[in-house]
Amino acid sequence: DQIAEQKIPEIPVKVLNLGFNPVSTIAGHIQTVRPNLIISFMDQTNILCLLSKLLLKLTNRADIPILVCERNNPKRNLILNRSLPFAIQEGARALRNFLYRFSSSICVQSGGARDFFISKGIKKPIAIIPNFVNTPPTILTQRKYIILAVARLVPEKGLIELVQAFIFLAKR
């Protein structure tokens, strides 16, 4: 209740038009704003931010720490458009795995994701912050089994495999 009564300050948000050269645009914005830390979400944005950081560092203009957040399964996630050939997807994954070495730290949602990045030679601090759901205790006592899956309807989330597993279990 105390938190609800506190007024949360408004934070101005600026949307960047990345245009044809997003790395240069982001780098220019970083140089202008000079943030103490950049927190980046989603692999495509993480890649662009880290490329921008490298551009600024190579030109001795700035070296801002970047925390990248990977909220997907890094083994299965399609970084680029699904219609692109497999080789291009693998190239994008390899670029991500290389660039994450230049982050200050990484935030993932599972031990499996952490282990994946460690197996790729990334030696940066990796924090695990799992997704969570607060379930009222009364719901837990009403039924024997409760199964909840919340995800985007995309192949890399594995919902088809989940449904197939339920079908398999129901037959047993």
* 3-class SS of residue 128: strand
Q: How remote is the C-alpha of 137 from its chain's centroid? A: 31
What is the pLDDT, as a whole number, of residue 105? 94
**Does residue 25 contact residue 19 with C-beta atoms inside 8 Å?**
yes
10 Å Cβ neighbour count for 62?
17
**Does residue 97 contact residue 120 with C-beta atoms inside 8 Å?**
yes
Nearest to 103 by CA among 77, 157, 65: 65
**Does residue 102 contact residue 52 with C-beta atoms inside 8 Å?**
no
Helices and strands (H, E) in the chain, number of each type: 7, 4
The pLDDT profile of the chain, 172 residues, written as one tens digit per residue, is 444 555 555 555 555 566 667 888 888 888 888 888 888 988 888 998 999 998 888 777 777 889 999 988 888 777 766 777 878 888 888 999 999 999 999 999 999 999 999 999 999 999 998 877 666 666 556 666 666 677 777 777 778 888 888 788 778 7
What is the pLDDT, as a whole number, of residue 158? 79
Please give the structure tokens belonging to residue 12.
């101005």
What is the pLDDT, as a whole number, of residue 6? 56
Q: Which residues, in sequence order, are bridge partners of residue 70?
A: 108
Whole-angstrom distance, CA of residue 101 vs CA of residue 98: 6
What is the pLDDT, as a whole number, of residue 125? 93
